[in-house]
Amino acid sequence: MTARLNEAEAEIRRLQAEYVFCADRGRVTELVGLFARAGVYRNVGGAYDGLVHEGRGAIAAYLLSVVDDFAAVGVTDTHRHHVSPARLEFVGDGKARAESYYLAMRSFGPDHWGVYRDVLVNEDGAWRFAERKCVIEGTSDASWQHEVRRRRLAAESAAP
């Protein structure tokens, strides 16, 4: 591997680490800055299944709604995402794909788990998420995901 690819790989791994650091602390502004200007966040499974957020403004609105949902369903304990090292594949100059597994822990133990599938781009000299697909493959019985999903479905069915 060339020195340039080694450097790019290290930068991408720092980006992925910064993502979970900011997510676990509710640092929405910093988190949104990790996405490309036209970045996309996709939800598969869990409380937000099927939602797609395009652009930093939409991603910020989504993340703020998650913070609000935590408060609405009484989540007050700590979240910590544990993420496996990503499998990286460079697919062009300034573009890469990555896949990693995650486990979100709370005070009682595992909350939910799944896989991140990323498309990354080098934009303005920094690696950013062009697309992050968050696939939730499972949830514990005590996960906040269940109550938020129930509330979302109830609101959708009540809408005119």
**Single-letter code of the amino acid located at 129:** F
Judged by phi (left if over 0) then psi (alpha if -120 to 50, else beta), residue 55 lies in left
For the domain covering 3-158, report its CATH number.
Answer: 3.10.450.50
**Average model confidence (pLDDT) for the chain?**
94
pLDDT for 1 equals: 55
Residues paired with residue 87 on neighbouring β-strands, in sequence order: 99
CA angle at 25 for the pair 106 and 73, rounded to the nearest 5°: 55
Length of the chain, please?
160
Residue 157 gets which letter from DSSP?
Answer: H
Q: What would the pLDDT profile of 29-47 be if each residue is shown by its tens digit? A: 999 999 999 999 999 999 9
Report how far apart, in Å, the C-alpha atoms of 69 and of each of 6, 53, 138, 142, 151 are: 39, 17, 19, 15, 9
DSSP 5-26: HHHHHHHHHHHHHHHHHHHHTT
**139, 145 in Cβ contact below 8 A?**
yes
Which tokens go with 91? 């697919």
- pLDDT tops 80 at residue 3: no
pLDDT for 94 equals: 93
Q: What would the pLDDT profile of 19-29 be if each residue is shown by its tens digit? A: 999 999 999 99
Count of Cβ atoms closer than 10 Å to residue 79 Cβ: 18
Which tokens go with 144? 């906040």
Which tokens go with 100? 């990693």
